[in-house]
Amino acid sequence: MLIKRAFFAFFIAVFLISTPVLAEVKYDLDKPHTRIGFSVRHIVVSYVQGDFKKFDGHFKMNKGELTHVEAVVETASIDTANADRDKHLRSNEFLDVEKYPELKFVSKKITHKGNKYTVVGDLTIKDVTKSVTLEGELVGTVEKGLDEKPHAGFYAEGKINRKEFNMNFHVILEAGGLAVGNEVKIILDVDGVVNS
């Protein structure tokens, strides 16, 4: 009996040593296929859509579940398809890109139910850091994309109040209402790729 127990213990030890440990997998943002965008109310009657064209970041997954998100965005890369408006958004009334060339997001807590995710993290704009909640979903994963590399995709949305980040432009229309809304909707359409 003692020999059998010793053999069993030896077998388990060998199995544990030889079994690969599942670890976090890092996905870099696939920039040509990722959108970091936003939407904000404009003169009451419409919404302006925009994107940031230059950014870097990654997310991590473990056993198919999202575990970490991190991104840095170049504020001067803001693009709303209107040169005059973009110049204003780069000014100190909004992003003040010369003084604050980057905005950052780092996740603090991630929960999920099925493929639906809630990501809570710190968003820093103009040296102001606030907790922001993103709600989204895992769109899908593939082991080999067109580039023969693993990919994973997520879609998420969130909201911030721009004035909490010292973007204090404030004009009231003659008919009432703000020229630019205070609430900004964040829109993320993310493709991540494993590069190593």
DSSP character string of 110-172: EEEETTEEEEEEEEEETTEEEEEEEEEEEEEEESS-TTSS-EEEEEEEEEEEGGGGT-----B
110: which 2 tokens?
């991630």
CATH number of 136's domain = 2.40.128.110
DSSP code at position 178: B
Contact between 105 and 113 under an 8 Å Cβ cutoff? The reply is: no
Q: Do the domain assignments include residue 94?
A: yes
Amino acid at position 64, single letter? G
pLDDT of residue 45: 63
Between CA 122 and CA 103 the distance in angstroms is 11
Burial 2-32 (b: 16+ CB within 10 A, else e): eeeeeeeeeeeeeeeeeeeeeeebebbbbee
Q: Do the domain assignments include residue 5?
A: no
The predicted model scores a pTM of 0.83
- When divided into structural domains, the chain yields a total of 1
Q: Do the domain assignments include residue 79?
A: yes
Q: Can you give the pLDDT of all 196 residues of the chain as single tens digits?
A: 545 454 444 444 444 444 344 589 999 999 999 999 999 876 556 789 999 999 999 999 999 999 999 999 999 999 999 999 899 999 998 999 999 999 999 999 999 999 999 999 999 999 999 999 999 999 999 998 889 999 999 999 999 999 999 988 655 443 444 456 788 999 999 999 999 7
Amino acid at position 71, single letter? A
CA 56 to chain centre: 10
What is the DSSP code string of 66-83?
A: EEEEEEEEEGGGEE-S-H
CA 74 to chain centre: 14
Q: Do the domain assignments include residue 82?
A: yes
SS3 of 62, please?
strand
Between CA 113 and CA 171 the distance in angstroms is 42
The residue range of the domain holding 95 is: 22-193
Q: Do the domain assignments include residue 1?
A: no
153: which 2 tokens?
């995709």
Q: Do the domain assignments include residue 7?
A: no
Between CA 37 and CA 158 the distance in angstroms is 11
